[in-house]
């Protein structure tokens, strides 16, 4: 069942390790089959070194395991909410990558102060508010997803495909699992650069027109970065 998607999700999970975004078992990637309404996700707490495609867990949109011998990632309900609230996305990534997590721990959005950021993320990376105590008991992971999605009420989630969960860490997404991993790689690098920049000059801001320019030269109607897609 969904063998091809399982292979893609496995590869995407291993790419997190290759790119230095994940140590131990910290991190998970999922992908959705929109037609079937099923999500393939990494199992919880399993070593990357021994993980196989058949270990990937298939869940339905209510989080019931449809196939797989292992428990799904404990962050699975966050992934599901993001798929429900962002119908245009096909893959979700969660990591504890060092600098992005440090911004999340500081409960601060990552400001858009450079073209490295603006090339991939149209706006600042939003950070959710602290989750109130009464929401922690039964629906914590789903609530995290809701608060992330709420932060995009006036933003296009594919134009700024990342968010920070306060005191927790980063989530990224994309049209595919691979794109979500790419965005996680960029997020960690811009989180590091923004940290250093903020230490050098705490009063940073960037001309909004330059943000538009860079975002659009890569993603706009007249984009001229990269090769023409055939």
Q: Which two tokens stand for residue 35?
A: 């037609």
Would you give the distance in Å from CA 102 to the centre of its chain? Answer: 16
| Residue 160: burial class (beta carbons within 10 Å; 0-12, 13-18, 19+) | buried
Please confirm, yes or no, whether 215 is among the known catalytic residues.
Answer: no
Task: Work out which of 63, 66, 84, 116 binds a second copy, going by CB under 8 A.
Answer: 116
If one counts every other C-beta atom within 10 angstroms of the C-beta of residue 208, the result is 11
> Which member of 119, 143, 150, 195 is catalytic?
119
Task: Work out which of 7, 44, 65, 176 binds a second copy, going by CB under 8 A.
Answer: 44
Measured from the CB atom, the residue of 60 and 130 that comes closer to a second copy is 130
Residue with tokens 């997803």: 145
> Which member of 60, 129, 150, 225 is catalytic?
225
- Strand ranges (DSSP E) for the chain? 27-33, 38-41, 57-60, 65-67, 91-95, 162-165, 169-174
Determine contact, residues 121/157, Cβ cutoff 8 Å.
Answer: no
Dihedral angle of Cα 98, 172, 104, 195, to the nearest 10 degrees? 60
Binding string to a second copy for residues 152 to 191, with x set by CB under 8 A, is what?
---------------xxx------------x--xx--x--
Tell me the closest approach of the beta carbon of residue 217 to a second copy, in angstroms: 6
Question: Taking CB under 8 A as the rule, does residue 103 contact a second copy?
Answer: yes
Q: Which two tokens stand for residue 227?
A: 């090769």
Tell me the closest approach of the beta carbon of residue 169 to a second copy, in angstroms: 7
Question: Taking CB under 8 A as the rule, does residue 206 contact a second copy?
Answer: yes
Please confirm, yes or no, whether 119 is among the known catalytic residues.
Answer: yes
**Active site positions, annotated:** 119, 225
- Which positions touch a second copy (CB under 8 A)? 23-26, 43-46, 70-71, 74, 96, 98-99, 101-108, 113-116, 130-131, 133, 136-137, 140, 167-169, 182, 185-186, 189, 192-201, 204, 206-207, 209-210, 212-213, 217, 224-228
């Amino acid at each position: 069942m969904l063998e091809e998607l399982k292979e893609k999700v496995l590869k995407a999970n291993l790419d997190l390790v290759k790119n230095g975004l994940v140590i131990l078992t910290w991190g998970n990637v999922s992908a959705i089959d929109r037609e079937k309404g099923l999500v393939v996700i990494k199992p919880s707490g399993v070593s990357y070194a021994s993980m196989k495609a058949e270990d990937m867990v298939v869940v339905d949109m209510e989080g019931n395991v449809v196939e797989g011998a292992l428990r799904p990632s404990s962050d699975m309900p966050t992934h599901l909410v993001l798929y429900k609230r962002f119908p245009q996305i096909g893959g979700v990534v969660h990591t504890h990558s060092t600098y992005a997590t440090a911004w999340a721990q500081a409960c601060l959005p990552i400001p858009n102060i450079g073209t490295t950021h603006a090339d991939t993320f149209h706006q600042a990376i939003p950070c959710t508010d602290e989750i109130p105590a009464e929401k922690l008991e039964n629906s914590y992971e789903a609530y995290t997803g809701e608060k992330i999605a709420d932060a995009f009420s006036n933003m296009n989630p594919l134009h700024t495909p990342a968010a920070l969960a306060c005191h927790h860490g980063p989530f990224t997404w994309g049209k595919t699992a691979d794109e979500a991993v790419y965005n996680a790689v960029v997020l960690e690098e811009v989180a590091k650069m923004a940290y250093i920049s903020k230490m050098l000059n705490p009063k940073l801001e960037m001309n909004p027109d330059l943000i538009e320019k860079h975002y659009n030269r890569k993603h706009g109607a007249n984009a001229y970065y990269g090769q023409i897609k055939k």
